[in-house]
Amino acid sequence: MKTALITGGSGHVGANLVRELSARDYKVRCIDFDGDHRAFDGYTVELIKGSVTDKESLDKAFAGVDVVFHTAAIISLERKNKNLIRSVNVDGTKNVCEVALKHNVKKLIHFSSVDAFIREPLDDPLLEDRPLVVDPNTVPYDLSKADAQRIVLDFCNKGLDASIIHPSGIFGPNDFKPSLFGQEFIKIANGKRPYSINVGYDYVDVRDLCTTAVNCVEQGRSKQNYIVGGNYMDFVYMADIISDELGKKLLRGTLPFFTIYLSLPFYFLQSIMSNSPRAITLDSIHTIKVQNKNIPSKLSKDELGHYPRPVVETISDTIKFFKDSKFIN
């Protein structure tokens, strides 16, 4: 039986990796960063206290491991978190690679993002040969993912067998500590977002992402990056599907795009009052406004068997999870 280690195991992707790996008879080990074990309930998981920023704890966690899924990251579009983003996403990735190489880990699956690539030209399909972000003034999260990938590739040249996964937006069930998108999904379902702008994003079901990532262990090429997209979904369409599923009208209307800028002070105050991350920032607006909508994911489909399910199925299953978890009224 192979042993798989997940960094960020209690997060959204990590929780679904636990389920996918368990179903494939892996022995699962997770780095226990925050003591939140909801993602592991009902599953046999070995927990080791630690963090990707603590190399000593990684040394213990990596002992005897065959495969590492490196999902731990700070996902933030607030520039005040720039140093933290850098510490975890870049320095943490370097620690992971160093310790993986030291312990002769057979395969590292590094989770990056489509945001690691430069966005333009917007009309061309987003493919794996798109250059990585280099502009130091760009969105800090985007640059951190690009720089982390450069570190992984550098360690591949030193003998590490690693493949890189670039998901688009991620959503789906088993989001126990609701992600930024999960939090917005919950607010829409609870009627707290009565107006929407008619834009969207490419989203992949977290379960399809994890299936593809585990396939990558045996089928993925070393030093190869794989874009793992899903389906483009506009937010009005999503709200309408949620309305149909819950049997109640949630949207009162749509607003022109420029009004999202007018909402910035509201989200800022809401963040302070609730002590929670801001869902809307200038960087998140940029991410939505300047995006690649053509994400074919052909390489991951051809080589890793990636098959994105219909977005309606993902919405339905996400509603069920959040209702069962008492996040949706």
Domains detected in the chain: 3-172+203-232+293-310 (3.40.50.720)
- The mean predicted confidence, pLDDT, of the chain is 94
Cα 153 to Cα 94, 147, 160, 222, 233, distances in angstroms: 11, 10, 9, 9, 32
Q: Are strands 107-111 and 200-205 parallel, antiparallel or unpaired?
A: unpaired
Give the Cα separation of 45 and 17 in Å (integer): 11
Q: How confident is the model at residue 76 (pLDDT cuts 50, 70, 90)?
A: confident
pLDDT for 276 equals 77
Residues 172-200 have a mean pLDDT of 93
Is residue 7 scored above 80 in pLDDT? yes
210 vs 199, which has greater pLDDT?
210
Residues 95-100 have a mean pLDDT of 98
Q: How confident is the model at residue 309 (pLDDT cuts 50, 70, 90)?
A: very high
What is the pTM assigned to this prediction?
A: 0.95
pLDDT tens string 254-292? 988 888 888 888 877 877 887 777 778 888 888 888 898
pLDDT for 263 equals 83
pLDDT for 91 equals 97
List the end-to-end C-alpha distance of the chain, in Å, as a whole number: 42
Q: How confident is the model at residue 188 (pLDDT cuts 50, 70, 90)?
A: very high
Residues 72-80 have a mean pLDDT of 90
pLDDT for 17 equals 98
Residues 217-243 have a mean pLDDT of 96
What is the separation of C-alpha 183 from the centre of its chain, rounded to a whole number of angstroms? 14
pLDDT for 198 equals 83
Q: How confident is the model at residue 165 (pLDDT cuts 50, 70, 90)?
A: very high
